[in-house]
Structure formats: C-alpha cells, structure tokens
Amino acid sequence: MKNLEETEDIATRKEAARYMKVPERVLRKWEREHKGPPVMRLSPKRARYRWADLRAFLEASLKMAPAIREAAIKAGIPGDGE
C-alpha cells in the first residue's frame, strides 16, 4: 500500500505552487484565510493538495476573471492597459 506522499494524485505545497504559478506563501495565506483550493493537513507544517482540486480552483478562477474585471471597470478602478 502506498503512503500519502507516494500517491500520484496528491501534490505537495511546492508542487501546487509551481502548478498554480504562485509563491508557496500565497498558498499558506489562502489556507489561513480559508480561500484557495482545499488543503489536506498532515501536520502543522505539512500540507497536501489533490490535483483535481487545483485544476477545479484554477478553472473557477478563470471563469470569474471576466466578471471581476467588469465589476472593476464599472467601479472606475483602472486595470491593465487603462
């Protein structure tokens, strides 16, 4: 039987950060704020992520991006290229 770290569908925080193109500290911040993808805590210093959860989080974020941009424009907040 494989242990959790040997399971292919589980990512370390470092792998998750690389995949999502954010620093590891951002994942830790999201975890503290209960934002971001679901996380599995193995110990106070060890977190793991399911690849499927990471993909779902990114897909949901991409779908929300146009709505966030539209709301910012309506609110008069300058964005990229404005």
In a domain, 80, yes or no: no
CATH of the domain at 46: 1.10.10
Model pLDDT, residue 28 = 92
Count of domains forming the chain: 1
| pLDDT of the residue at 63 | 79
Q: Give me the pLDDT at residue 1, please.
A: 43
CA distances from 27 to 1, 22, 37, 53, 61 (A): 29, 8, 8, 13, 15
**Structural domain containing residue 55:** 4-74
Per-residue confidence in pLDDT tens, the chain, 82 aa: 444 444 579 999 999 999 998 999 999 999 999 989 999 998 888 999 999 999 999 888 877 777 766 766 677 765 544 4
Going along the chain, which residue ranges are E strands? Answer: 10-12, 40-43, 46-50
